[in-house]
């Protein structure tokens, strides 16, 4: 059986890597073969379809007594949407969000009644508040909820939100109704994908072939090169974990790769390029640290839904159960965006105090300059008071310490281009993560090591910030 599995991976691996996640999304779209519509006829058919599939809001008095719409309504909407091209999808979502949202006149009337009710007894105030709360529910939320109950419905809504996010990010539509639809979808998905409803799965070489293929396909940090590479990443001294959900069987939602090492790694090539034998027996005496070297979200539609934080915490508990002596937990993280920030900062900055005269003249002397610049980028560059770098912000929210900046930690072309070859360790001191997280989220304070703080101080002294 194992030989068959190996052969299947060899045969399908290259074929799998040819397809991006977006192309998989297109191939899986429900009703992909449905006829498309154009022009006025398309708009007319959209209006008719929405009338059939988006049920009126039950009155407040009958909200718990009204029977749910027929399953056929949800399926019709899914098939119709799946058969549209991108411009028509945008048009349908615009119609859905604008025409099937909140009854604004009814909300205004209830808001006025709530003001009048302030002079009456508390029971009356609470009842009017409850009516107002119910009236703020957009009508399309009922459709979304019913879609989630049919087979394939949750995956459809995850992909639907991915489309909404693409519309917003590309500025193809600036409608506030679209943004409100995005908020409603995110709220629903956050409930459906809460930590208590997720299953932790360890991925091994014995996992289903399709799962291994998807783990390879979704790897966004350090691309998998071949079938031997993925075997090593789930082999000795390595662990791979994923969150799954019963509503999306066979779909890993977020994937975490871990290296079990003697000390906290400062170089990614030692993890993804240098391996022990594929059949080696793990020596527990050589396992003193767990290094999280890649975490990848696989579903664009779950952006902003907290999964990675829970996955790291769950994996830490899992590893502590397997290795009770294990106390060192750290990431080895890329620094996306540093090079772009640096080029912008240095543009026209010659003589501006960022580099010394010697550093400008001697390329070999750039290491200390780049190290302090990168330390400042991670520590000092902010958006709304939080770290502008998304990877830094993720780990700092989780309560990690900005612990060590590593020179020539990723000498691949990708690493050089993104961050001048540097990487960073975010260290998880388990007894301090809760306090660190609260301090960062509440007071926007970043916990750092002496190494990082010294580099930041050097940058501030040089640049007079």
Nearest alpha carbon to residue 154 among 190, 105, 206, 124: 190
For 3, list phi and psi in degrees, rounded to 5.
-65, -40
CA atoms of 339 and 394, how far apart (whole Å)? 20
Active site residue 177: no
Question: E strand or H helix at 412, and its extent?
Answer: none
Residues 6+ apart with CB under 8 A from 94: 173, 175, 177, 178
Exactly one of 73, 216, 333, 419 is catalytic; which is it? 333
**Considering 194, 395, 412, 437, which one is annotated as catalytic?**
395
The candidate with the shortest Cα–Cα distance to 194, out of 239, 247, 137, is: 247
Does 333 qualify as catalytic in the annotation? yes
Q: What angle do helix axes 209-218 and 21-28 make, rounded to 10 degrees?
A: 130
Torsional sign, CA 157, 207, 276, 11: negative
Distance CA 434, CA 440 (A): 10
- Residue 42: CB atoms within 10 Å: 17
The full DSSP string for 237-251 is: TEEEEEEEETTSTT-
Q: Distance (Å, rounded) from C-alpha 386 to C-alpha 403?
A: 17
* Residue 401 near residue 427 (C-beta atoms within 8 A): yes
Give the phi and the psi of residue 448 in degrees, each rounded to 5: -135, 165
Residue 217 CA to residue 231 CA, distance in Å, equals: 14
Q: How far apart are CA 131 and CA 60, in angstroms?
A: 7
State the Cα–Cα distance between residues 387 and 148, nearest whole angstrom: 35
Residues annotated as catalytic (active site), given as ranges: 333, 395
């Amino acid at each position: 059986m194992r030989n068959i599995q190996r052969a299947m991976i060899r045969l399908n691996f290259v074929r799998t890597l040819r397809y991006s996640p977006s192309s998989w999304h297109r191939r899986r779209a429900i009703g992909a073969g449905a006829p498309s519509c154009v022009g006025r006829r398309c708009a007319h058919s959209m209006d008719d379809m929405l009338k059939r599939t988006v049920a009126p809001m039950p009155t407040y008095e009958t909200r718990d007594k009204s029977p749910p719409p027929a399953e056929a309504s949800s399926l019709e909407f899914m098939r119709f949407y799946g058969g549209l091209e991108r411009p028509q999808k945008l048009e349908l979502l615009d119609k859905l969000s604008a025409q099937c949202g909140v009854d604004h006149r009814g909300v205004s009337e209830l808001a006025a009644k709530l003001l009048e009710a302030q002079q009456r007894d508390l029971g009356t105030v609470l009842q009017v508040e409850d009516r107002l709360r119910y009236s703020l529910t957009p009508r399309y939320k009922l459709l979304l909820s019913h879609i989630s109950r049919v087979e394939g419905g949750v995956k459809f809504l995850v992909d639907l939100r991915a489309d909404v996010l693409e519309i917003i990010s590309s500025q193809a539509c600036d409608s506030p109704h679209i943004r409100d639809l995005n908020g409603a979808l995110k709220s629903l998905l956050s409930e459906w994908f809460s930590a208590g409803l997720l299953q932790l799965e360890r991925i091994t070489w014995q996992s289903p072939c399709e799962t291994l293929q998807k783990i390879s396909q979704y790897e966004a940090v350090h691309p998998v090169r071949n079938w031997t590479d993925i075997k090593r990443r789930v082999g000795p001294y390595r662990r791979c974990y994923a969150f799954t959900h019963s509503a999306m069987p066979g779909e890993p939602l977020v994937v975490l790769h871990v290296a079990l090492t003697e000390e906290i790694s400062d170089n990614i090539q030692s993890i993804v390029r240098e391996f022990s034998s594929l059949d080696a027996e793990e020596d527990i005496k050589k396992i003193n640290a767990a290094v999280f070297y890649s975490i990848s979200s696989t579903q664009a539609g779950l952006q902003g839904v907290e999964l990675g934080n829970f996955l790291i915490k769950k994996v830490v508990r899992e590893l502590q159960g397997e290795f009770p002596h294990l106390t060192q937990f750290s990431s080895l993280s890329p620094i996306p965006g540093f090079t772009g920030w640096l080029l912008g900062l240095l543009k026209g900055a010659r003589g501006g105090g960022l580099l010394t005269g010697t550093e400008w003249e001697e390329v070999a002397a750039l290491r200390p300059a780049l190290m302090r610049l990168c330390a400042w980028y991670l520590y000092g560059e902010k958006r709304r008071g939080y770290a502008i770098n998304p990877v830094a912000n993720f780990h700092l929210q989780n309560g990690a310490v900005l612990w060590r900046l590593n020179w020539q930690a990723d000498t691949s072309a990708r690493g050089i281009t993104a961050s001048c070859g540097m990487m960073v360790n975010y260290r998880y001191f388990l007894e301090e993560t809760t306090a660190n997280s609260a301090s960062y989220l509440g007071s926007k304070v970043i916990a750092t090591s002496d190494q990082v703080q010294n580099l930041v101080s050097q940058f501030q002294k040089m640049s007079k910030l």
